[in-house]
């Protein structure tokens, strides 16, 4: 696959991340926020979002990935690294780069609920909702995107393109 065109420029992403961070800062003013990024794709989004918050926050990561080929989610989710922070009684915000079928977030939500957080909300930068197979309630959404292959800003295709500052669509070579 190769880059087709820029879907969201770094400036558009920055403005959207600021908008989300402002909303989160208001909503979590009196709470004990733990922002949990889902590796690997969310590493860029979490780092930008966390630095734009105007409230104290803990930042942690978990690892999750679906196996199978790299463009079609297999529906089997591998949960790797667990959070280091004890989330019991804390206000957890899961931060994802993209939701597609919803399988990954569904699994993650089920795992976190076992640890009894005070609250659990979801923030995604990209929502490819046409592809949803399981219902997941999203609290903060950056952009709703069409069913195209995207990469950049942490998101890969076969581990490539994660370091692009813009979000691009991909097409066949």
44 token code pair? 């860029």
Binding range to ligand PRP, per CB under 6 A, among 6-14, 17-25, 33-41, 53-61? 33-41
130 token code pair? 């046409």
169 binds ligand PRP (CB under 6 A): no
Binding range to ligand PRP, per CB under 6 A, among 58-66, 83-91, 112-120, 163-171? 58-66
Q: Which residue from 13, 38, 46, 94 is in contact with ligand PRP, where contact means CB under 6 A?
A: 38
In the block, tokens 């915000």 appear at 93
**Rounded CA Rg of the chain:** 15
156 binds ligand PRP (CB under 6 A): yes
Q: Which is nearer to ligand PRP, 26 or 71 (CB)?
A: 71
Residue 44, CA atoms < 13 Å, CB-side half-sphere: 20
| Residue 100 a catalytic site member | yes
Residue 97 burial (C-beta neighbours within 10 Å; 0-12, 13-18, 19+): buried
Which among 97, 100, 127, 166 is annotated as catalytic? 100
| Other beta carbons within 10 Å of 149 | 16
Q: Which is nearer to ligand PRP, 118 or 134 (CB)?
A: 134
Residues noted as catalytic: 100
């Amino acid at each position: 696959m190769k880059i087709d065109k820029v879907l969201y420029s770094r400036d558009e992403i920055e403005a959207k991340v600021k908008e989300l961070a402002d909303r989160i800062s208001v909503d979590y003013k009196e709470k004990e926020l733990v922002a949990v990024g889902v590796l690997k794709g969310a590493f860029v989004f979490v780092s930008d979002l966390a630095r734009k918050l105007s409230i104290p926050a803990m930042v942690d990561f978990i690892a999750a990935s679906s196996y199978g080929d790299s463009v079609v989610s297999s529906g089997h989710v591998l949960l790797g690294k667990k959070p280091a922070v004890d989330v019991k009684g804390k206000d957890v915000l899961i931060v994802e780069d993209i939701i597609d079928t919803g399988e990954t977030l569904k699994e993650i939500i089920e795992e976190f609920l076992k640890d009894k957080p005070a609250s659990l909300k979801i923030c995604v930068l990209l929502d490819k909702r046409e592809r949803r197979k399981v219902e997941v309630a999203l609290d903060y959404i950056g952009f709703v995107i069409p069913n195209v292959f995207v990469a950049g800003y942490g998101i890969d295709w076969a581990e490539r393109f994660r370091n692009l500052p813009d979000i691009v669509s991909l097409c066949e070579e």
